[in-house]
Amino acid sequence: MKSSETLATATFRIFPKQLNNHGTVFGGQMMAWLDDVTSVSAQRFARAEIVTGSFDHIRFEQPAKIGDALEIQTYVTGVGTRSLEVFAKLIGEHLMTGERFLVGTAFATYVVVGPDYVAPSLAYDTVEAQAVHAGYAERRSQGKLAVDLDLS
C-alpha cells in the first residue's frame, strides 16, 4: 500500500461554540477532530479493529478564528508489528481572502486490537511522507520510553 492511499481529509468551518476565551479554536475541539480524521487513515491502512494509543508532538503554530476554515490532512507514516503512526497537518484558511496558513501538526499512534494481525507493507510515495517517515524510529523509541517509566 502507498502512504497516499491512507490520506484522509476533512474541513471544518469555525463557529463561536468552538472558541476559547481568546477567540481562537479551543485545543480540545481540534484534538477531537484530529482523533476522528487520523482514525480514518489508520483504519484505511490496517483494515482491522483499532484503538487510539496516543497523540504526541502536538504543535500549535497559528490560531484559527471565527470565520476561518480548518482543513485536517492525515496519512500513515510508520508501521510497527501491531501499531501504526499517523501524521496530521492542520491548515487554516481565511475564507474572505483565501489565505492559507499552518495551524499545527500532530502524530497519532493507533494499536490494532485482536490476534493474528499482519500489517501490510507501506511505501512512502511523496517527498513529504518520506521526510516525515525518516523520524519515525526516533519518535517510536521516545514513546516506548514513556511506557517504560516506573511510576512508583
- Which pLDDT score is estimated for 152? 56
Question: Which residue do the cell numbers 490560531 mark?
Answer: 63
Compute the distance between CA of residue 77 and CA of residue 60 in angstroms, rounded to an integer.
20
In this structure, what C-alpha cell is assigned to residue 94?
A: 481565511
Question: Which residue do the cell numbers 499552518 mark?
Answer: 102
Tell me the pTM: 0.90
Second-level CATH architecture of 3-147: Roll (3.10)
Over residues 20-29, the pLDDT tens digits come to: 999 999 999 9
For the chain, percent helix, then strand, then coil, each to nearest 5?
Answer: 30, 40, 30
User: In terms of Cα–Cα distance, which of 91, 81, 65, 80 is closest to 9?
Assistant: 91
Over residues 32-90, the pLDDT tens digits come to: 999 999 999 999 999 999 999 999 989 999 999 999 999 999 999 999 989 999 999 99
